[in-house]
Amino acid sequence: MKLLAITNSIRKISDNVLVAILGVIISSMVCLVLWQIISRAVLAAPSTITEELVRFELIWLGVLGAVYAYSQKQHIRITIFVDMIPPKYKKYLNWFINAVVLIFLYVILFN
């Protein structure tokens, strides 16, 4: 029971850190895009680095946002089969789904 409490507190801390990082990324993207607009329209000399930075930030926003969505169980999934399974077996199905995701990630990372 104590191990579960420790892992839950670690998860809450990591989720809070992830939300803060995502907020910084979004805020930075807004500022960079505004600077790009101002430098292009007002100064007539568009900044070249801001476009690349926003592109990289958008990639990281998608990756880290997917991690956060998965941790909150808000990822995209089709629930038609899950809804048909009796409640006592849903726990085993969730374990199976998580195992398949881990295997998929292992194959992606190491092949």
Domain match, 83 and 52 both: no
Q: What is the DSSP letter of 109?
A: H
Instruction: Single out the residue of 49, 60, 76, 75 nearest to residue 26, CA to CA.
Output: 60
Whether 60 and 12 map to the same domain: the answer is: yes
Q: What is the pLDDT of residue 88?
A: 87
Q: Could you tell me if 50 and 35 are in contact, meaning their C-beta atoms sit under 8 angstroms apart?
A: yes
Same domain, yes or no: 34 and 4: yes
Contact 50, 36 (CB under 8 A): yes
Is the domain of 38 the same as that of 66? yes
Q: Which domain holds residue 100?
A: 77-111
- Report residue 72's pLDDT band, with 50, 70 and 90 as the boundaries: confident
Residue 20 and residue 38 in one domain: yes
Give the rounded percent of residues in the chain with a pLDDT score beyond 90.
Answer: 41
Average pLDDT, the chain: 88
* Residues 82-108 pLDDT 10s: 788 888 888 888 889 889 988 998 998
Residue 75 has pLDDT above 80, yes or no: no
- pLDDT of amino acid 54: 94
> Could you give the angle at which helices 49-71 and 2-41 cross, rounded to 10 degrees?
160
